[in-house]
Amino acid sequence: MAEQKYILEVQDMKKHFAIGNKKLKAVDGITFGVRKGETLGIVGESGCGKSTAGKTIIGLYGITAGDVLYNGKSIKNMNPKDRRNYTRSMQMVFQDPYASLNPRMTVGDVIAEGIDIHGLVKNRRERAERVHSLLEAVGLNSEHAGRFPHEFSGGQRQRIGIARALAIEPEFIVADEPISALDVSVQAQVINLFQKLQKERGLTYLFIAHDLAMVKHISDRIGVMYLGKMMELTTSAKLYAKPLHPYTQSLLSAIPIPDPEVERTRERIILQGEVPSPLNPPSGCPFRTRCPHAMDVCAKEMPPMKEIEEGHFAACYLY
């Protein structure tokens, strides 16, 4: 994975937190690369570590072990110039647009915050022009700059959150469940906006979601996480056509199929039990307490991630 073709390389990255005298292994050794201009979806139930992974990659949390390389450079020991470039290149869009927007600031000031911090404009006129063009880029209009976040709907607020992320012209966006809090009718519009912006600006996305249906259309490749580990990673098409990991199979079987005939006759995989606590994960394969195919060997050690078919990786003793 050390080839330059990846703009971002996550190498056996771990993020652990101390909770009392226990260790919460929120992210426990995940490896993947993201190519320039692609969208990598990361999917899993709450508590699987996907959000922590996003926040660690962007530098909001320190890395416990492993590494993250951006354009071949480790983010752990960057010199101040590279660090500045990194924080300018990477931006995050959050799940709850309202909580992430300061209610006392006008939308124009919210969007211009990064522009001001990085000193990207020469005067107020240029600043206003930049804000107006960002508002238009996300489907809002320039009059919205003088209003406050509470005057907007959930979908509009997420558009403001996206405009704020774009303000400093990043190359890479970590979108942390950006559509989960929105009405279903609005979700598709926001996904379309992400796709339009990617095409126009050549952006690279790490797109985090809890539901495979949400990332299907936007992702080139998808990684499936469970209790801090990566279970499967491949192209969106392969994952949907032929999921290999039993956990992915169960996630996919929960998505309704629009064809009533297929929907009536297909088999559902109902998982037993709840996701175990990440403070006390099962030994070996973390999915073994719910896996319909669990064997003795599964309790011993975490199965390694293997390339089962070309470009299709899974961590499971069935393969």
Tokens of 10: 């996550």
Give whole-number Cα distances, 9 to 30, 94, 238, in Å.
10, 22, 22
**What is each CA distance from 305 to 47, 48, 314, 316, in whole angstroms?**
21, 17, 5, 7
186 part of the interface to ligand SF4, by CB under 6 A = no
Taking CB under 6 A as the binding criterion, the range among 5-13, 21-29, 205-213, 290-298 that sits at the site for ligand SF4 is: 290-298
Q: Are strands 39-43 and 221-226 parallel, antiparallel or unpaired?
A: parallel
State the CB neighbour count (10 A cutoff) for residue 279.
12
Q: Is 197 in the site for ligand SF4 (CB under 6 A)?
A: no
Give the interface segment with ligand SF4, choosing from 30-38, 74-82, 261-269, 285-293 (CB under 6 A). 285-293
Per the structure block, which two tokens stand in for 207?
Answer: 């797109």
What track of x and - describes contact with ligand SF4 for positions 201 through 240 (by CB under 6 A)? ----------------------------------------
- Give the nearest distance from C-beta 316 to ligand SF4 in angstroms: 3
C-alpha span between 264 and 186 (Å, rounded): 28
CB atoms within 10 A of CB 280: 8
* From candidates 105, 120, 186, 294, binder to ligand SF4 by CB under 6 A: 294
Pairing mode of beta strands 306-309, 221-226: unpaired
Region near ligand SF4 per CB under 6 A, out of 31-39, 86-94, 255-263, 291-299: 291-299
**Binding to ligand SF4 by residue 152, rule CB under 6 A?**
no
Q: How many CA atoms lie within 13 A of 26 on its CB side?
A: 19
Q: Which residues contact 68 (CB under 8 A, 6 or more apart)?
A: 8, 9, 10, 11, 13, 56, 57, 74, 75, 76
The two tokens of residue 188 are 């598709």
In the set 8, 287, 308, 313, which binds ligand SF4 (CB under 6 A)? Answer: 287
Compute how many residues bind ligand SF4; rule: CB under 6 A.
Answer: 13
Report in angstroms how near the CB of residue 269 gets to ligand SF4 at its nearest. 12
- Asked if 316 interacts with ligand SF4 (CB under 6 A), we say yes
Among 303, 305, 308, 312, binds ligand SF4 (CB under 6 A): 303
Q: Check residue 293 for interaction with ligand SF4 (CB under 6 A).
A: yes
Q: Which of 9, 15, 7, 150 is nearest to 68 (CA)?
A: 9
318 binds ligand SF4 (CB under 6 A): yes
Positions 245 through 264 that interact with ligand SF4 (CB under 6 A): 246
Q: Does 288 bind ligand SF4 (CB under 6 A)?
A: yes
Q: Residue 92's beta-bridge partner residues?
A: 174
Q: Is 308 in the site for ligand SF4 (CB under 6 A)?
A: no
306 near ligand SF4, rule: CB under 6 A: no
| In the complex, minimum distance from the CB of residue 66 to ligand SF4, in angstroms, rounded to a whole number | 22
Q: Residues in the site for ligand SF4, rule: CB under 6 A?
A: 246, 285, 287-288, 291, 293-295, 298, 303, 316-318
